[in-house]
Amino acid sequence: MAIDFTLTSEQKNLQKTAREFSQEVLKPIVAKADAEPDPQKAFEMVKPAYVQAYKLGFALGFLPEKYGGSGVTNVDLQIVAEEVCAVDPGFACILLVNGLALMPLAWYGTEEQKRKWLGEATSDPTGLYIAGYNVSEPQGTANFDNPGRHPVGMSVTVEYDKGRGEYVLNGTKYWPSSSAGWDMKGANVNMFLVRTDKNKGGKEGLGALLIPRGTPGMTFKKPLDKIGHRLNQNNWIEFENCRVPAENAFAVGNGDLIVSKAFTWSGPVAAIAAVGVARSAYEFALEWSKSFTGAGDKPIIHHQAVGYMLADIAMRIEACRYLSWKAAHYLDLYDSEGQAIGAMSKIFASELMFDTVFKCMQVVGVNAVNKEHPLEKLLREAVIFPLYDAGTMGMQRRKVWGVMADPSFDPRAFMDCRFVPFKKSMEGWGTVTANAAA
């Protein structure tokens, strides 16, 4: 059969490298950085690990080889992401955001833009190059593809100054990642999704702008303080007549496709991230059950309730890992065009792994909430996945819904790994409520 879950020798070496990096370089930093009350300081504390990740190709290896990346497959990205996320998914998010910011350029940018921006990203001798992905806004962005005109949908607007050949930005972004950079003066480059035409809906009126560090008119506020993913910087940005050269724009009129495809590409990575967190919780709970007696005469793994629960936990982790791999394999087949199956992996693993981590805590009992043990942090990390990474659960479910609702959709397509083209007609489902439509 063509199906084979055995890692190749190259993949085993990749897994070994990722595991050694995660355990020997990243892990010694994580506990102190996670406990740091200042979110910006926590972010800055992982710089040494980031430099190592950059040198190993983990920060930008997914970019095409033509532009200096390694052309890492989505399946190989799964192998690296699980090992890193088993230690800290917030740090892994920093790496992933580089992809969210720059992969859209690889898909939709001009050749000149790709050579300039991707070449710059992959050739930084310091290893500190970082990119910011900026979609989220204060009122939310789950309905980015709403057919209504401004102010519905994306609210950060741009006006085109034809005389100077520049776009002028005004508005606020809220929750984007890595945007303020290591020093709160900006990432090396930020990719912003903006409203390029106030009179058009989300399927026609959005576009992307690349804004380099040091551009006037951007104000970065103190990063948001979160319960989980604390090593990942999330920002509040205000624009006031920020001017950007027209040659920095791409996918004008098709910004909606950037959001749909970027969160498709990152869906299986968010899924395997949840698996990595749950795996760490499971391994701790299993080891605990083999030594802790609960004042009985034998370790608690001898109790049927504990044995059954651990069996369920192990099965869930394996199932979610294989769905993540299947989705990544599908994306490798079709240039990351797998909007429904990518979303499925994200939804299923995010929700199931959160409950799985909590079940691990039930195995351990009250000691699970003691910060001396890892489960307290792992639960904080797990709660983030359904709400944040790779888009909200509602945004991702609407994507699956839109694909399934298409008259040509074949429900056996994903079973057979057959290509399902994504069309703009598949967007916008559920963005107009029944009351609004009436």
pLDDT (tens digit per residue) in 220-264: 999 999 999 999 999 999 999 999 999 999 999 999 999 999 999
Burial of 417 (0-12, 13-18, 19+ CB in 10 A): middle
* Domain of residue 299, CATH code: 1.20.140.10
Closest CA to 103 of 261, 319, 284: 261
The residue count of the chain comes to 438
Q: What is the phi-psi region of residue 349: left when phi exceeds 0, alpha when psi lies from -120 to 50, beta otherwise?
A: alpha
Q: Which of 121, 151, 167 is the last residue of a domain?
A: 121
227 plus 145 within the same structural domain? yes
Q: 153 and 111, same structural domain?
A: no
pLDDT digits (tens, 9 = 90+) for 261-275: 999 999 999 999 999
Q: Is the pLDDT of residue 437 over 90?
A: no
Residue 237, token pair as written in the block: 């940005």
The pTM of the full predicted model, rounded to 2 decimals, is 0.95
Cis peptide before 104 (omega within 30 of 0): no
Q: What are phi and psi of 134, to 5 degrees?
A: -130, 95
- The whole domain housing 228 covers 131-256
In order of 114, 127, 324, the CA distances from 55 in angstroms are 21, 7, 26
* Residue 74 falls inside a structural domain: yes
| Of the residues 213, 233, 256, the one at which a domain ends | 256
Number of domains within the chain: 3
- Angstrom distance (rounded) from CA 146 to CA 157: 16
In a domain, 4, yes or no: no
In a shared domain, residues 248 and 160: yes
Same structural domain, 308 and 409: yes
Assigned domain for 1 exists: no
* φ, ψ at 181 (rounded to 5°): 75, -170
What's the CA gap between 44 and 280, in Å, rounded? 25
DSSP string over 174-196: EEEESTTTTTTS--SEEEEEEES
Out of 100, 121, 142, a domain closes at: 121
Question: 375 in a domain, yes or no?
Answer: yes
Examine the domain organization and report whether 227 and 355 are in the same domain. no
**Of 368 and 1, more confident:** 368
DSSP H or E stretch at residue 249: strand 249-250
pLDDT in tens, 150-195: 888 899 999 999 999 999 999 999 999 999 999 999 999 999 999 9
415 and 350 in one domain?
A: yes
User: Would 167 be classed as within a structural domain?
Assistant: yes
